[in-house]
């Protein structure tokens, strides 16, 4: 495969900030893709350059991309990594590499007349052929859709006011994604009505969830419980938290600013989680400690065992080396996968492969500054992901991800496409 032409464009994300989009052409086909950007970032994420700087970097590599032939996605991505030449993508920028990588994957799928998720799964099998032979193949690559994790109340870095915890999520525990989305919308409508009755206003955060004019970290969970009880949904809806603890951690003092008037230690924060998990039966808890607190992650994972999935995001940043360490130290039972954290689709797939082999639950996630690209939905399906986080079921840039999962699910049911 030889590229006919490639263009890089600057577009606006959901926060009206500049990000990157790409257009690729080959064999009479044309595709496009765009990449999001996060506000709450792990310190070990791939380096991002400004979109305007990315345009300059692209002009220096465009000729090389058009001259070379590529046989697969991994070959294309490895060439990008070679052109950059740094471990953290500092020269070209992880955001530039990713928008090129995503768009190439989409173009390759179109030229092969395959669904994008099928192309991504084929790439995984090509990278790791043993996946087909392993007994857990069917378990991970099942026909079921991922759970939807809806962020209905935004806090932390995603909100201009409210509690320190960053995301308060509801999780419909249903097999059919159509039903999950319908239930998520219904619950959200009741939540908005509750806010209007209680607070006389409805403000929204970066991910489309409501902002709560209270700082107590437990209040959103209390509200969720009230609504769930009224709707008789206790067996159909569970709750989850993305704490993003690094955002309220003081590295010098080694304390957490969870409360307005006092600081607490990691040991005290662990007790907070013990109480919350017991009281609300959380299905998952993400980034409960700051991104270098490996021992604290291991402690809470040991405590939770199978009751609550302990998820690493800033701790892992979609990096297979860090994931390997987390597995060795028994620090997590679930991992967030964000292609923007690592820089290319192939590197993302290698992290997914490792998670599959180690039986770590995979949660494919969006970013707070999103676009209407639905790439991560296909990635979630290809990965056999346990969950998909794409924000509240309202803004267009969030809904396209959920709707894409439903589209794939319906096609699977209709045509019985298994692999």
Which residues have C-beta within 8 Å of that of residue 127, sequence separation ≥ 6? 74, 346, 349, 350, 353
Q: Do residues 70 and 1 lie in contact, with contact meaning Cβ atoms separated by under 8 Å?
A: yes
Q: Which residues are CB-contacts of 354 (< 8 A; sequence separation ≥ 6)? A: 320, 323, 324, 327, 360
Q: How far apart are CA 84 and CA 93, in angstroms?
A: 8
Distances (CA, A) of 250 to 120, 148, 167, 257, 264: 40, 32, 20, 8, 10
For the chain, state the CA radius of gyration: 21
Q: Which of 207, 347, 370, 397 is catalytic?
A: 207
DSSP string, 270-283: HHHHHHHHHHH--S
Considering the candidates 41, 110, 299, 338, report the single residue annotated as catalytic.
338
Catalytic residue check, 89: no
Beta strands 284-286 and 237-242, pairing class: parallel
Q: Quick check: helix, strand or coil at residue 334?
A: strand
Which tokens go with 25? 């052409």
Q: Is 207 a catalytic residue?
A: yes
Catalytic residue positions, numbered: 207, 338
């Amino acid at each position: 495969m030889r590229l006919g032409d490639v263009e890089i464009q600057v577009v606006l994300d959901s926060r009206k900030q500049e990000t990157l989009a790409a257009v690729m052409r080959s064999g009479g086909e044309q595709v496009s893709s765009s990449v999001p950007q996060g506000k709450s970032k792990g310190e070990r994420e791939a380096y991002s350059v400004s979109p305007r700087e990315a345009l300059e970097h692209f002009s220096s590599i465009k000729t090389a991309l058009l001259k070379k032939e590529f046989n697969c996605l991994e070959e294309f991505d490895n060439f990008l990594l070679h052109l950059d030449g740094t471990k953290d993508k500092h020269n070209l920028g992880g955001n530039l590499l990713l928008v090129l990588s995503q768009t190439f994957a989409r173009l390759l799928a179109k030229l092969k007349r395959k669904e994008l998720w099928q192309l991504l799964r084929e790439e995984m099998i090509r990278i790791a052929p043993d996946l087909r032979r392993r007994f857990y193949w069917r378990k991970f690559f099942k026909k079921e859709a991922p759970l939807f994790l809806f962020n209905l109340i935004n806090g932390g870095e995603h909100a201009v006011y409210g509690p320190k915890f960053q995301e308060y999520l509801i999780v419909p525990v249903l097999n059919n994604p159509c039903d999950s989305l319908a239930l998520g919308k219904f619950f959200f409508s009741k939540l908005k009505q509750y806010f209007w009755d209680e607070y006389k206003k409805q403000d929204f955060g970066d991910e489309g969830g409501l902002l709560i004019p209270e700082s107590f970290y437990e209040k959103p969970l209390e509200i969720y419980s009230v609504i769930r009880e009224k709707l008789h949904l206790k067996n159909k809806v569970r709750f989850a938290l993305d704490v993003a603890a690094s955002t309220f951690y003081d590295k010098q003092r080694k304390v957490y600013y969870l409360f307005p008037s006092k600081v607490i230690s990691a040991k005290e924060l662990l007790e907070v989680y013990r109480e919350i998990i017991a009281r609300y039966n959380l299905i998952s808890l993400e980034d409960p400690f700051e991104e270098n607190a490996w021992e604290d992650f291991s402690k809470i994972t040991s405590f939770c065992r199978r009751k609550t999935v302990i998820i690493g995001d800033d701790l892992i940043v979609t990096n297979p080396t860090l994931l390997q360490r987390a597995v060795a130290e028994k620090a997590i039972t679930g991992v967030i996968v964000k292609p923007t954290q690592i820089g290319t689709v192939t590197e993302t797939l290698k992290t997914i492969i490792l998670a599959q082999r180690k039986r770590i639950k995979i949660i494919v996630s969006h970013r707070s500054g999103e676009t209407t690209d639905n790439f991560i939905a296909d990635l979630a399906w290809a990965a056999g992901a346990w969950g998909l986080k794409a924000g509240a079921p309202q803004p267009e840039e969030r809904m396209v991800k959920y709707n894409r999962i439903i589209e794939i699910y319906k096609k699977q049911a209709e045509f019985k496409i298994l692999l």
